[in-house]
Amino acid sequence: MARSGIRYEEVQDAAETLLGRGLNPTIQRVRELLGTGSNTTISEHLKSWQQQLAEAPKVILPPAIPEAVAAALDAFWKLAVQHAEAAFEEQRVIGAQAIAAAEQARDAAIAEQQQLRNEADDQRRRLEAAQTVNRELTDRLLVEQERRAAAESAIQAAEQRVQAATDTVAQIRAETTARIAQIEATLHQTRTDMDQQLAEARQRFETERQRGEASEARWLAMLDQLRAEQTAERQTFATERQDWKNQEIAWREQREIQHRETTELRATLAVAEERQRTLVNEIEQLRSLLQLAETRYLDAIRDAEALRGELKAALADRQHLQRQLEAWPPLPSNPVQTQAPDSP
């Protein structure tokens, strides 16, 4: 069903105007003449008008006759009809003697009308054949237009997919770059912290070692002095020796604490190295995702190129159909309705 818009009478007037100009009333020409209307609505109105033309036989002048000559013939025909009607009225007034002659003229007019009807039937059959071919070409043109619209939609969708893939690749690249930079910064900070902690531990260990060695030397000297004064100060030496043992125990405990701290620092360093290996694996996974996104982007570009090739083929077919339609001979113009003389 035609959509609401232009009316059938507007399409009919435009088609008859185009016929009067010696042009074939196609959908595009009617639309250009009206300046509005959809192709579907104009096509359905044109089909209705062509059916009415096929059902009403008409005498159509050859398209080679100029418009001025056709107008003169039309005026001459009307004047001849007026004179015939006046003569018929005069003959009817005159009397019965003209009845036989009028009947002969009527028979001749009927024979001529029959001949004109036969010619009109031939013209109608030619018109129906031309209309059939025109409808077929119009339908094929509409199909090609729909295929072109579908191809353009597919290309737009492919371009949107390519753009989306490009945006995704750019986003993945940005996220990957930021993630790698963050991981590298974290790794660098971890290494710096581990190096600093290891240096501090080594420094503490060295300080404690030097302190222990100095303490040991001092206590050895004191031991020698205590042995020299053993006789006089045995009890004092025994007491100081016990203190020295206590300090030695404390020093050994302190060395054990330093050893445990060193072990913990080494364990922390091992954890940091394991974390570094994990971060390296994450970087490799992100690189794999980036390569996959680039592969999808290349596939989308190839799909777009294939769709462009299909669009070019559709456009070539459409141009071929358009040339066939323009090469078809125009329909006869300025139809004149056959008028039969009045019977007495």
CA 233 to chain centre: 106
Number of domains observed in the structure of the chain: 1
Q: Could you give the C-alpha distances from 254 to 13, 213, 216, in angstroms and in order?
A: 114, 13, 14
Name the stretches of the chain with pLDDT < 50: 1-3, 58-61, 80-81, 83-88, 98, 335-344
Q: What percent of the chain has pLDDT over 70?
A: 79
Give the bridge partners for 335, in sequence order. 60
In a domain, residue 247? The reply is: yes
Q: Which two tokens stand for residue 30?
A: 């009617």
Amino acid in position 2: A
Distance CA 164, CA 167 (A): 5
Instruction: Check residue 74 and give its pLDDT.
Output: 60
In a domain, residue 291? The reply is: yes
In a domain, residue 241? The reply is: yes
DSSP string, 94-126: H-GGGHHHHHHHHHHHHHHHHHHHHHHHHHHHH
In a domain, residue 215? The reply is: yes
For 198, the domain range is 165-302
Instruction: Check residue 337 and give its pLDDT.
Output: 45
Q: Hey, how many other C-beta atoms are within 10 angstroms of the C-beta on 240?
A: 16
In a domain, residue 171? The reply is: yes
Contacts of 263 (CB under 8 A, 6+ apart): none
In a domain, residue 330? The reply is: no
Instruction: Check residue 120 and give its pLDDT.
Output: 83
| pLDDT tens-place string over residues 51-109 | 887 776 544 445 555 666 556 566 555 554 454 344 445 655 675 564 566 568 778 87
In a domain, residue 180? The reply is: yes
In a domain, residue 144? The reply is: no
